[in-house]
Amino acid sequence: MADSWVNSWVDPARHIGADLHLELDGPDGRRATLIRALRDAVRSGRLAPGTRLPPYRSLAADLGVARNTVADAYAELVAEGWLTARQGSGTRVAERAEPFEGSARVAKKTPARARGPRHDLRQGTPDASAFPRAAWLASYRRALQQAPSEAFGPGDSGGRPELREALTEYLARARGVRTEPGRIVICSGFAHAVRLLFGGGVLRGPLATEAYGLDFHRELLAAAGVRTVPLPLDEDGARVDLLARERAVLLTPAHQFPTGGPLHATRRAAVVDWARARGAVILEDDYDGEFRYDRKPVGALQGLDPERVIHIGSVSKSLSPALRLGWMVLPERHVDGVLAAKGEREGWTSVLDQLCLADFVAKGSYDRHVRRMRQRYRSRRDRLVATLDEQAPHVEVTGIAAGLHAVLRLPPGTERSTVEAAARQGVALDGLAAFRHPRTDMTAPDGLVVGYATPSDHAYAAALEALCGVLPPP
């Protein structure tokens, strides 16, 4: 008798595929061993109540046992109440089969899905209801049909060549990035890139970061043992003239996060000069570079010096953060180090998702989606500005030329109480203080960071109403 068995079959009633591993080793005869194995599978919860078991014949064939052995085992378990057998619907796990105490424990520990706020105006997520499901599915289907057999083996840690080629063309055209496929390494997003670069020993601190930035990224860096040095900001962006002995600087040049302005052209040139003179590296976080509304697109800083800038992008704002797909465009000298940090095989991002994104980009679906979303976000932004103009003209809206969030300037001393009042009214948003580097001397004026992409279209008007309701009076 086989030692173990993994079978998969499609349950037509539940419309799911089920996979089951049965341990069939043991001193008893085949029938008794099979009964025990099935009983254990039900008891442990691996076979859920209602699950349809495979027909005698196919299970017998899979296990290399006689059909009668399976029939006898099923009959015994029906008699014991573990299974039910009904004409026409086959043999199923009984609905009242004894629940697994372990799974009950797990269920108790697993928190109920937290109910979100009534109005979600936090920055960070694109409009999830606008994910291009049909186009993504079409790309997935084509990718699956056309993938060579070797694509189903362990992936190359640099990423699929199809995706690196598609990105080379796209990033050059849309973002002004100068590269070639061999310098692109696919990763699961910006956070993963930071882990690889610093956790993997490719770069070392101290690292200069903007005085206001994503706290999550600062935490990642701290966890990798990197000391971050805050760079103050002014109306032209990060004060790169204050860079000194750091080995690297992390910037959001196209759209400072969270305050919203681009890095001024003279500062762009100055930071590249600094990196050249110091032998340092610039990390360019191009998190929402595609979404510019009013002004000419701000190209990637990487275009100024591909040997000094690591350009990092992802689909988290353009498509969805759930995909966990991103890329690093590297100076040649860092490619091997990043590949070594990633490991010999692709252990992070699904090769099929990579192929799907490659098709999505190459067929123009990515451009189409970005254009569509740009229009949608622009009209949301316009609506935010118009609503505030009407209902709270004393509140200035800034950082609106790009991205998926704006900053609302508040009267001094009112930021915290406004965020708290908003929370009480079911409006989730952050104040600027939430993004402040703990060791900076700089304090930005009071402000709210309002993400206007997160609510779905139908929820947006109510979210703006609620927002206006919690703003401080003039």
Residue 364 has phi, psi (to 5 degrees) of 85, 0
- Which position among 196, 214, 224, 300 is part of the footprint of ligand PLP (CB under 6 A)? 214
- Cα gap 362→374, rounded to integer Å: 19
Least distance in angstroms from the C-beta of 35 to ligand PLP? 49
Residue 371 has phi, psi (to 5 degrees) of -65, -45
Of 60-68, 187-195, 259-267, 360-368, the window that binds ligand PLP (rule: CB under 6 A) is: 187-195
Orientation of helix 351-362 relative to helix 365-391, angle to 10°: 80
- Cα gap 395→467, rounded to integer Å: 12
Strand, coil or helix: 259? coil
- Decide: is 191 part of the binding site for ligand PLP (CB under 6 A): yes
- Decide: is 262 part of the binding site for ligand PLP (CB under 6 A): no
- Decide: is 321 part of the binding site for ligand PLP (CB under 6 A): yes
214 versus 463: smaller Cβ distance to ligand PLP: 214
Structure-token pair, residue 351: 């090769």
- Decide: is 318 part of the binding site for ligand PLP (CB under 6 A): no
208: nearest Cα among 274, 120, 127: 274
Contact 361, 159 (CB under 8 A): no
- Decide: is 189 part of the binding site for ligand PLP (CB under 6 A): yes
Query: Which residues, at least 6 apart from 19, have a Cβ–Cβ distance to it below 8 Å?
Result: 6, 7, 8
- Decide: is 206 part of the binding site for ligand PLP (CB under 6 A): no
Of 52-60, 314-322, 367-375, 465-473, the window that binds ligand PLP (rule: CB under 6 A) is: 314-322
- Decide: is 259 part of the binding site for ligand PLP (CB under 6 A): no
Nearest-CB residue to ligand PLP? 189
158 versus 189: smaller Cβ distance to ligand PLP: 189
- Which position among 253, 262, 303, 326 is part of the footprint of ligand PLP (CB under 6 A)? 326
- Which position among 124, 253, 261, 399 is part of the footprint of ligand PLP (CB under 6 A)? 124
DSSP per residue over 205-258, as a string? S-EEEESB--HHHHHHHHHTT--EEEE-EETTEE-GGG--S-SEEEE--SS-TT
- Decide: is 289 part of the binding site for ligand PLP (CB under 6 A): no
**Hunting for tokens 């209902």 — which residue is that?**
391
Of 188-196, 229-237, 377-385, 421-429, the window that binds ligand PLP (rule: CB under 6 A) is: 188-196
Least distance in angstroms from the C-beta of 257 to ligand PLP? 4
- Decide: is 349 part of the binding site for ligand PLP (CB under 6 A): no
- Decide: is 184 part of the binding site for ligand PLP (CB under 6 A): no
Contact 235, 261 (CB under 8 A): yes
323 burial type by CB count under 10 A (0-12 exposed, 13-18 middle, 19+ buried): buried
- Decide: is 190 part of the binding site for ligand PLP (CB under 6 A): yes
Least distance in angstroms from the C-beta of 326 to ligand PLP? 5
9 versus 131: smaller Cβ distance to ligand PLP: 131
Q: Where does this chain bind ligand PLP (CB under 6 A)?
A: 124, 189-191, 214, 252, 257, 285, 287, 314, 316-317, 321, 326
